[in-house]
């Protein structure tokens, strides 16, 4: 019974690491945004140079991941409501980073303690169940989002910023919104989905290899 509980706990930790790790990719990997600057014609849309756009995005992200205390966006002005939204975003980003670090640390601890006797659930390693649950969930979410991304984008904001409308930017007071078109967020979602599904596939292959190895030992 105890091993089953530990197995479930490990499966949850693996799922959290994969989920938080996938989300953190477009957050920390800034070249992903840079690669969008020219294809999305952001210099023309914003009236800024590529360097100014990179600086504005960098300062915004520094704030959102806790590297700076006050919100700023390069040469771009912003409203109190706009800054308030990024304060909400900051909380979510820091939560994701915290979940990733804590889950990874606990997972490493479990791996060290159970190195000689790997945990199994229903004949599979915990990673299998993490992959199945997470993979099925995100394939469903991706299918729904593909039908109407704009609707999915709205639902996402209403879900994670309940009771607030400060995410509905007015370009006249918060021109940073012109730097962050829907196409960029769509591509961020695709990157996150791809990373999560690739991780799930890796876990399934690992489980298959583990079962094959176990059968050979018998």
Q: What is the pLDDT of residue 2?
A: 56
Q: Quick one: pLDDT at residue 122? A: 64
Contact 79/173 with Cβ under 8 angstroms? yes
* Separation between Cα atoms, residue 104 and residue 100, nearest integer Å: 6
Give the per-residue pLDDT at 112.
79
What per-residue confidence (pLDDT) applies to 169? Answer: 92
Q: What tens-digit pLDDT sequence spans the chain (218 residues)?
A: 556 777 788 899 999 999 999 999 999 999 999 999 999 999 999 999 999 999 999 999 999 999 999 999 999 999 999 999 999 999 999 999 999 999 999 999 887 776 655 566 667 888 898 999 999 999 999 998 888 998 999 999 999 999 899 999 999 999 999 999 999 999 999 999 999 999 999 999 988 877 655 555 55
Which contacts (CB < 8 Å, 24+ apart) does range 97-104 have?
97/20, 97/24, 97/65, 97/66, 99/16, 99/20, 100/16, 100/17, 100/20, 100/21, 100/24, 103/13, 103/16, 103/17, 103/20, 104/17
Q: What is the pLDDT of residue 205?
A: 92
Long-range CB contacts (within 8 A, 24+) of 144-148: 145/189
123 CB-near residues (< 8 Å, 6+ apart): 211
Domain total in the chain = 1
Structural domain of 195 = 2-217
Residue 87 has phi, psi (to 5 degrees) of: -65, -35
**Rounded distance, CA 180 to CA 77, Å?**
15
What is the Cβ-side half-sphere exposure of residue 134, based on CA atoms within 13 angstroms? 31
């Amino acid at each position: 019974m105890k091993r089953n509980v530990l197995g479930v706990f490990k499966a949850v930790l693996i799922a959290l690491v994969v989920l938080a790790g996938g989300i953190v990719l477009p957050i920390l990997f800034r070249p992903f945004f840079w690669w969008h600057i020219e294809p999305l014609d952001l210099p023309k849309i914003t009236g800024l140079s590529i360097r100014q756009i990179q600086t504005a995005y960098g300062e915004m992200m520094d704030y959102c991941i806790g590297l700076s205390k006050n919100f700023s966006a390069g040469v771009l002005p912003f409203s109190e409501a706009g800054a308030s939204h990024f304060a909400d975003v900051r909380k979510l980003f820091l939560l994701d980073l915290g979940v990733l670090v804590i889950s990874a640390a606990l997972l490493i601890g479990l791996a060290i303690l159970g190195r000689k006797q790997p945990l199994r659930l229903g004949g599979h390693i915990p990673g299998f169940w993490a992959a199945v649950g997470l993979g099925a969930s995100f394939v469903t979410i991706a299918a729904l989002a593909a039908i109407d991304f704009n609707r999915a984008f709205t639902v996402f904001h209403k879900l994670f910023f309940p009771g607030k409308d400060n995410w509905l930017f007015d370009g006249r007071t918060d021109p940073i919104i012109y730097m962050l078109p829907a196409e960029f967020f769509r591509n961020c979602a695709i990157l996150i989905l791809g990373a999560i599904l690739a991780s799930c596939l890796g876990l399934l292959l690992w489980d298959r290899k583990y079962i094959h190895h176990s059968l050979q030992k018998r």
